Structure formats: structure tokens, C-alpha cells
Amino acid sequence: VQLQASGGGLVQPGGSLRLSCAASGGTSSTYQMGWFRQAPGKEREFVASIFWGGGSTPYANSVKGRFTISRDRVKNTAYLQMNSLKPEDTAVYYCAVRIGRITTSQSMRDSSYDYWGQGTQVTVSS
């Protein structure tokens, strides 16, 4: 499975960005896709997750109500819509895929994922 993340950039506080993660290879109907982020000097942290076949979409408390994860089955692409961005959202954002459904708690751990995209930088600054 290959993942291509895009959509990052520089945005002012309060602004919006939409990240995309295009997946190729494998059987997408069995994908569990997650978004993680890593800020300078910090550990990688969970942001949101979605199962390709539908179901719950857990979010980190820090982004709940501001970020929305979705997927387009035809395009084999997942999205992370980020609204009301804050400086503390500044990080490199990574998408990852696990083949096969996992529990919600498992989906929030980066060790649960098999494939990773290259990351896209998001900078929130005035």
C-alpha cells in the first residue's frame, strides 16, 4: 500500500486547511486509516481515524469539534478537514493505513498501523 499525503501549508490562526491522503494498492474496503501528527520536539500523536467500510470516527480531544475525517471510496482518498486552526496544531501530519478492522482504542495507537505516508507540514501562524 502506498500513501500520498498532501494539502499542508501555512495558515493564520482561525483558518482552515484540508489534507488529503491518496491510497493505492491493497483492498481499500478493509482499510483502517488514521491521521497522526508530530510537532517539533514532541512525540507523534493521534488525530483521527476512520474505517473504510464505515463506523465510528474517533478524534483526539484536542481536535474534536474542529477537525473532520472522511473518505472517498471511489477516489481511494481520505481527507482531514481542519477548521479553527490554532498555533498548537502546527506539526507534520501523517496518514497511515492498517489492513483490516481494529478496535477504536487500537486505531488511536501508531503501532497499530502498517503503512505510512511521507507527511505534510501544517504551520499555523500569524
Per-residue pLDDT 10s for the chain (126 aa) are: 899 999 999 999 999 999 999 998 876 678 899 999 999 999 999 999 998 887 789 999 999 999 999 999 889 899 999 999 999 999 999 999 999 888 999 999 999 999 999 999 999 999
- The one-letter amino acid at 81: Q
Cα separation, 73 vs 68, in Å, equals: 16
Torsion of CA 44, 58, 6, 14, to 10 degrees: -90
- pLDDT on residue 20: 98
Q: Cβ of 72: how many Cβ atoms within 10 Å?
A: 11
